């Protein structure tokens, strides 16, 4: 049985990597999906084709999530084509890393705009279109819990902000029957952090399972949170990192 039959979902940053895997998995579970992309229209179209070829429903919306106006517009477009937003997955991300004294205010502004402001704005924009039983799922990072190497202070700070936001949303929205949860992936094989990169062996050495996650493994956790099994998971973070933070 498809666990999300009749449900709708918006996945930000859904054209590649973890976002593409999430959009595909939610569609496989029966959800009608909208995804955002910033510039890679061809990659977004690839995801749409795969979903539609499998009998699913999917739409792509162009948006720069660093711009709050475009975030609101993207949510409105998604609600328009889907009819509602039952599941909001805040996945879009970027990576600005380096020694703290070398990072710029522009690095800070871009990181916080996409990782924190966009989530805040998307949640506000989605709520009028979200019914009882709605799910807000944000993608954080295990670096929000533990930072095992230098150069990730800004990234970890931005992802840590989602912990407080998720906890607060659980209190604000729980009485309305809407839950909020956070997924903290560890090293995951994507274009942003490929498993064959120069530094990959050092990351693998931190993981008791000795490997990177596949994007589909993160998507499976999101699908569980979005489905019937996640109905009582609220105001918490699920770490999916193979034990790296153990």
**Does 155 qualify as catalytic in the annotation?**
yes
Q: One of 37, 108, 155, 212 is an active-site residue; which one? A: 155
Query: 227, 4 in Cβ contact below 8 A?
Result: yes
Nearest Cα neighbor of 94 from 12, 21, 150, 9 is 12
Reading the block at residue 75, the tokens are 């949510």
Q: To 5 degrees, how large is the angle CA 18–CA 23–CA 25?
A: 90
C-alpha distances out from residue 184 to 24, 85, 134, Å: 19, 23, 20
Query: 218, 137 in Cβ contact below 8 A?
Result: no
- Give the integer Cα–Cα distance in Å for 172 and 225: 19
Reading the block at residue 84, the tokens are 């509602």
Reading the block at residue 127, the tokens are 């709520």
Which is it for the CA torsion 127, 130, 133, 139, positive or negative? negative
Catalytic residues: 155
């Amino acid at each position: 049985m498809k666990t999300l039959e009749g449900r709708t979902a918006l996945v930000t940053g859904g054209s590649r990597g973890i976002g593409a895997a999430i959009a595909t998995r939610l569609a496989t579970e029966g959800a009608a999906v909208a995804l955002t992309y910033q510039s890679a229209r061809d990659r977004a179209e690839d995801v749409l084709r795969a979903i539609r070829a499998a009998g699913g429903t999917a739409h792509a919306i162009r948006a720069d999530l660093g711009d709050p106006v475009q975030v609101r517009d993207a949510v409105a477009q998604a609600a328009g084509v889907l009819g509602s937003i039952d599941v909001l997955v805040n996945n879009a991300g970027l990576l600005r890393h380096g020694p703290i004294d070398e990072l710029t205010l522009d690095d800070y502004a871009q990181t916080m705009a996409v990782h924190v402001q966009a989530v805040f704005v998307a949640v506000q924009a989605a709520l009028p279109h979200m019914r009882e039983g709605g799910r807000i799922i944000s993608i954080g990072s295990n670096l929000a819990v533990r930072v095992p190497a230098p150069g990730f202070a800004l990234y970890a700070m931005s992802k840590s902000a989602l912990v407080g936001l998720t906890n607060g949303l659980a209190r604000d929205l729980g009485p309305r029957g809407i839950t909020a949860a956070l997924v903290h992936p560890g090293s995951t094989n994507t274009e942003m952090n490929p498993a064959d990169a120069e530094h990959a062996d050092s990351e693998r050495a931190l993981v008791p399972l000795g490997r990177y996650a596949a994007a589909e493994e993160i998507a499976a956790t999101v699908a569980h949170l979005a489905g019937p099994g996640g109905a009582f998971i609220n105001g918490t973070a699920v770490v999916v990192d193979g034990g790296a933070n153990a």
